[in-house]
Structure 1
């Protein structure tokens, strides 16, 4: 048993080490070939830094993977299957696409132009205004097929290969919430399911769970349907959580990964109300999003970059949002809080 565990740890370390090296090298290359961080004529942006911050950031990064490995050994979810030939080929293709697109992203950043996507849907009334922006200055915003295919590569490069591991910590919280329950009887909703990345991780752990993904982007929904086609019990619905197209108390578990920092404060309240409405009494809600100011003081200075270096118009207000109070107003109680590098996972239970 000890040998099997040690071999598993060695395989995990080799695979995740190679993955981190792959994405972090691309991050360094992207930083090297991109233009200056500040626009000409603007004061240079200097985040507050304390002695030893770099070491503490590295420590938090390594602790994320240690936590991930512990969850795997506890049987909460399987080890990631990252090192495969077809995935390596796809990763190289996505990297080429990322660097081809980088000059356009960089130009938007320098010009602070994050609204060109609105021209693509001029005259259409189906999207809320806050959504029609080039979040992260990405080409196509959330509305293009290219964006749906490239998104995973973009976030992995941004986080140095840690994005999937941070999502898996949220999966661990979900797994603990439904432990002991027949997965076939747990109806799950993944809010802002995007291209299906998190749902695919869920299905690797719970292949028979009936799940629904909800996302406002038709392009991302189409990509998710392709990625999840092997699981016939999965449904992908195109829609907004603040107008959730589901009956009251429809779901025994709800997850939401990396949505709320991109919502205006008013919409966050509408979304919380809807999540409460569609969650069954006693149901679990797993919230995963960016850490906030004060969660990990050693990492606070990294948070200062996001509103400046990326198009994240609602991030500053997000940093001070009290989610315990926000969801508490709608009958949710906190069961556990967990930090995973730059992600905070909160599991609530509906009273």
Structure 2
């Protein structure tokens, strides 16, 4: 066999493309994080060297080692065939620059809210159409302008999250694709249904549709603005994608109608009572034998090195329910809803749970 056509050579080009793109991605977003922190300190003053819980925060080198491990896992999953090499490894430079400019325009306002502990501006001045939404939702989560309630916020959200995670947010989300692949490999995707709870801008569902284009999906979210962004992102698959405005604790879908439910980065933003209701609702809409693939922040003790970041996060990014979430017993919570934990793993700053709907 010619060396140029050998399996090892065939893998080399995608590996190089992945390595180059992800290195550039981390440098781009991590650089913005550092610059934004420097701008913010001019407004808020220097942060504490030790967070409120007394545990040290890991340094940049330790964080980069964790991120490097995530990217290695991501590439290994691609090479194992769990999901495709992302089509947007090299995003449109114009969009990158436009989003970065918008992000930095908002940094002083975010920093002002952090300094003044002004976290409910959207409740005092509600955007159109937001008045009937739950009070726990009408907040400036992350101190971001508009909370989750405006077109501007929806447009900027994915960029903000990538800055927060130093370019690792998409790679964390892609870990959810592995149990989806395993669940679908013995089933016809056209016969199955997937519900993404708190779908936001629909970015994760674009990963699903890239890999399972014939799988019918539903994006559920409370924010009309974010659902409009999701509609734009899912436009190539509009015929097999539905959008529903609703709360996770009151899903307007039939009992036993879904084969897969996904829920990514929602529970740390829910009050404890609502968290339990949402778990029960996700279990209700699953078929027996269906799976919930759940991803959210790491919790205390998952990776002790991260415990100092867990201490600091609620103060730095206005997360009023995060401290309770960080200590919540998720397997017990889901077991009470009729979901059995099948597996759990860590991915950088997130944890992944795969849970199965037990027979009624």
TM interval, short-chain normalised: over 0.9
Number of residue equivalences: 348
Trace 1:306-321 onto structure 2 (pairs within 5 A): 306-321=313-328
Contact kept in structure 2, 1:213 and 1:237, CA below 8 Å: yes
Q: For residues 200-237 of structure 1, give each alpha carbon's deviation from its aligned partner in whole angstroms, at most 9, with x where no partner exists.
A: 11111111110001000000011101111111110011
Cα pair 1:38 1:44 within 8 Å, conserved: no
2:124 pairs, out of 119, 123, 127, with 119
Query: In structure 1, what is the equivalent of residue 16 of structure 2?
Result: 10
CA deviations on 1:303-351 (whole Å, 9 max, x unpaired) are 1221111110000000011110111112111111111000101000111
Matched, 1:71 2:50: no
Match of 1:275 among 269, 274, 282: 282
The Cα of 1:300 is off from its aligned counterpart by 1.3
**1:164-223 deviations in whole A, cap 9, x for unaligned?**
000001122322232221111120000000010110111111111100010000000111
Q: 1: distance between equivalents of 2:43 and 2:289?
A: 47
Provide the C-alpha distance between the structure 2 equivalents of 1:36 and 1:88, rounded to a whole number of angstroms.
29
Q: Superposition pairs for residues 1-351 of structure 1, below 5 Å?
A: 1-35=7-41, 44=48, 46-47=50-51, 48-49=54-55, 54-84=60-90, 87-121=92-126, 126-231=132-237, 232-351=239-358
Q: 8 Å contact 2:21–2:90 — kept in the other structure?
A: no
Distance 2:57 2:214 in 1: 49
Partners of 1:194 and 1:338 in 2: CA distance:
23
| TM-score normalised per structure 1 | 0.94
Q: Which runs of 5+ in 2 are unaligned?
A: 1-6
More deviation in 120-129 or 102-111?
120-129
1:65-96 CA distance string (max 9 Å, x none):
011011101111111123446x2211110001
Partners of 1:83 and 1:252 lie apart in 2 by 30
Contact 1:39–1:111 under 8 Å retained in 2: no
> RMSD of the TM alignment (CA)?
1.9
> Secondary structure of the equivalent of 2:327?
coil
The TM-score with structure 2 as length reference comes to: 0.92
In structure 1, the gaps of 5 or more residues are none
Contact 1:241 1:271 in 2 (8 A): yes
